[in-house]
Structure 1
Amino acid sequence: MLDLTTMIGFALVALGMVCAPGPNMIYLLSRSITQGRVAGVTSLLGIMLAFTVYIIATMLGLSALFHAVPFVYECIRWLGAGYLVWLAWKSIRPGQASPLEPKPLSIDSPRKLLIMGFMTNLLNPKAAVLYISLLPQFIDPARGSVLLQSMELGFIQISISFLINLLIVLTASQIAAWLGARPLWLKWQRWLMASVLTGLAARMALDRSK
């Protein structure tokens, strides 16, 4: 079982991940504005299904692989740090638009919305690298079953991601209007996000606790 401090720490990391602008947020904003809240919720369910795939993969193999071959974990850790630095640079490089600016999409069926939401998250390198790299850092074999700890962390991550993304879906129009009236905030947000991503990259690269 996880202790309360570990759960709170992971919850804060999960909150930071879901609040960081990326493909999931862009897709949900655009889909909700273009096709309405029901389409946004349907897309969100697809995104949650992809997170479930990541959790199952972590539970069934990644933790054991990291303990058996520490070099694999080191590779993923540095890959994750490097990817975060690249995301930080991408967010502030000259001519780069804010990732929070939604784009128009075509009208699609509920089935296609579910599949597109699933694929958007499953093929999202940010989700893959962050999830695979960060979650194992909060698992402590000394506290019992690695499988059970992975389940607990996965439940925390999915719950937070669902609630925040649902809020984004329900307020998509208001978010778009608010951003449209504050172009300077978009520029400030890009630099703030770059700082957060760089900090996460440094933490990931320097943390040798696992």
Structure 2
Amino acid sequence: MSLEYLLTTLVVVLAPGGGVLYTLSIGLAHGARASVAAATGCTLGIIPSLIASITGLAAVLHTSALAFQVIKVLGVLYLLYMAWRTLRDSGTLSVEASSEPRASLLRIATTGTLINVLNPKLSLFFLAFLPQFVVTNGVAAMFDMLTLGGVFMLVTWVIFIGYGAGAAWLRRHVIGRPSVQTWMRRSIAGVFVMLGARLAVSER
């Protein structure tokens, strides 16, 4: 594994994409534990795209306009649904991270996973990105791609947790008033709408 790959991965993961925005918004709204759940979910959401790039399914997605559009529409609808559900939730956002129910953490992680699974651009990214750093052929190339993908996921998880921890720190020291929490809820809904809009206008 080359230093070039590690540096490229670091730059790609640090860039403010959908997973970063989601993890930040969850950290601000629900605290550190919830942001770890969001980071974990976003990282797990990479697995289908990685498998697709290794097996060649991403190439089918690249050549099939219908398949690309179907996945994209499903992703947009899901993000808009999450925005609507966030706005409907009138409960108080607790500042204490330890009060986050396990079911809510699972829901946060599931949402993070689906955000990446329903993003067809991610599969196309791995299809174009990973082969550049594979130096073997045949079965060995598949294992190389698995290794590269695993490193990418590990870097993603660590950096996203860092983003979430920073957001949780701001929440604990800045956020507390009900008016601020209302603004936070609307901002999170806005993040979902923005992600949905960006996905809707994306091209292959």
- For residues 84 and 38 of structure 2, what CA distance do their matches in structure 1 show? 28
SS of structure 1 residue aligned to 2:90: coil
- The unaligned stretches of length 5 or more in structure 2 are 135-144
CA–CA distance in structure 2, aligned partners of residues 49 and 129 of structure 1: 10
Contact 2:59/2:127 (8 A) holds in 1 = no
2:123 matched residue in structure 1: 136
Of 47, 53, 56, the match for 2:50 = 56
Shifted more, 53-62 versus 76-85: the winner is: 53-62
User: Which residue type is aligned with residue 160 of structure 2?
Assistant: I
Q: Distance in 1 between matches of 2:22 and 2:82?
A: 13
**Equivalent in 19, 30, 41 of residue 24 of structure 2:** 19
Q: Distance in 2 between matches of 1:48 and 1:91?
A: 18
Secondary structure of the equivalent of 1:12?
coil
Q: Provide the TM-score with structure 2 as the length reference.
A: 0.59
Amino acid at match of 2:155: S
- Indicate how the Cα distance of structure 1 residues 163 and 17 shifts in structure 2: closer, same or farther if over 3 A, else same: same
In structure 1, the partner of 2:182 is: 187
Contact 1:81 1:201 in 2 (8 A): yes
SS of residue paired to 1:74: helix
Q: Distance in 1 between matches of 2:74 and 2:191?
A: 17
Task: Pick closer, same or farther for the CA change 1:93–1:197 going to 2, 3 Å.
Answer: same
Query: Match of 1:78?
Result: 73
Mark the CA change 1:56 to 1:196 in structure 2 (over 3 Å): closer, same or farther: same
SS at match of 1:87: helix
Instruction: Render the CA deviation track for 1:136-174: whole Å, top value 9, x for unaligned.
Output: 364675x883786998787556424323325656996x6
- Uncovered stretches (5+) of structure 1, i.e. residues with no partner: 33-39, 107-115
Conservation of the 8 A alpha-carbon contact between 1:48 and 1:158: no
Q: Structure 2 counterpart of 1:17, which letter?
A: Y
| 1:124 paired residue number | 110
Distance 1:150 1:197 in 2: 30
Distance apart, 1:206 and its partner CA: 1.7
For 1:159, give the aligned amino acid.
Answer: V
CA RMSD for the aligned pairs? 4.8
Q: Percent identity?
A: 16
